């Protein structure tokens, strides 16, 4: 388990550095997805599968919302599809695909390998404990975050309307 943690944290660091140094925003977002998957693998290797699953669901959803916001705000039309095809050559997908494949193999190895007696006494965090934490002392923060996301969605809709540009 220690190897899985250190390897996925190393992949997260490399992918995050590529997010920062990428000049193309599409490449940066692809590496961001790989980085978030690597962080989820860190949670899985630490014995928090529910937190890892929430990481994948929430942040994969957040990435998709980010794409939607960009499309709504920039109003990309059919004229940019050829430019986008030129940007997304097969060479662009090699780095994120390789890191994602390694993380997938590591996840499968972690899930189906024989249990080892790790020196760390890790306990599993269940959904009930997460729910009690989120809707207990952090209820106000969760509700404020949901209102902020709703306001961002409404603002992106109004900024991306065709009538507002005329």
The whole-number average pLDDT for the span 17-37 is 80
Confidence of residue 121 (pLDDT cuts 50, 70, 90): low
Of 18-27, 38-47, 78-87, 106-115, the one with minimum mean pLDDT is: 78-87
**At residue 68, does pLDDT exceed 60?**
no
Tokens matching residue 166: 């005329």
**At residue 11, does pLDDT exceed 90?**
yes
**pLDDT value of position 38:** 92
Confidence of residue 127 (pLDDT cuts 50, 70, 90): confident
**pLDDT value of position 114:** 65
Confidence of residue 120 (pLDDT cuts 50, 70, 90): very low
Q: 79-96 burial, b if ≥16 CB within 10 A, otherwise e?
A: eeeeeeeeeeeeeeeebb
The whole-number average pLDDT for the span 55-77 is 67
The 10 Å Cβ neighbour count of residue 41 is 26
């Amino acid at each position: 388990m220690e190897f899985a943690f250190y390897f996925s944290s190393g992949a997260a660091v490399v992918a995050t550095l590529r997010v920062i140094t990428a000049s193309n925003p599409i490449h940066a977002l692809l590496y961001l997805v790989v980085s978030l998957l690597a962080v989820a693998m860190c949670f899985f290797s630490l014995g928090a599968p529910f937190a890892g699953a929430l990481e994948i669901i929430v942040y994969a959803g957040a990435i998709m919302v980010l794409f939607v916001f960009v499309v709504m705000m920039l109003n990309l039309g059919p004229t940019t599809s050829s430019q986008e095809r030129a940007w997304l050559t097969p060479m662009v997908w090699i780095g994120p695909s390789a890191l994602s494949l390694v993380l997938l193999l590591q996840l499968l190895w972690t899930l189906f390998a024989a249990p080892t007696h790790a020196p760390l006494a890790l306990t599993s965090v269940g959904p009930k404990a997460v729910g009690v934490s989120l809707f207990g002392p952090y209820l106000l923060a969760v509700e404020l975050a949901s209102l902020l996301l709703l306001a961002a969605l409404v603002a992106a809709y109004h900024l991306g309307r065709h009538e507002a540009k005329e």
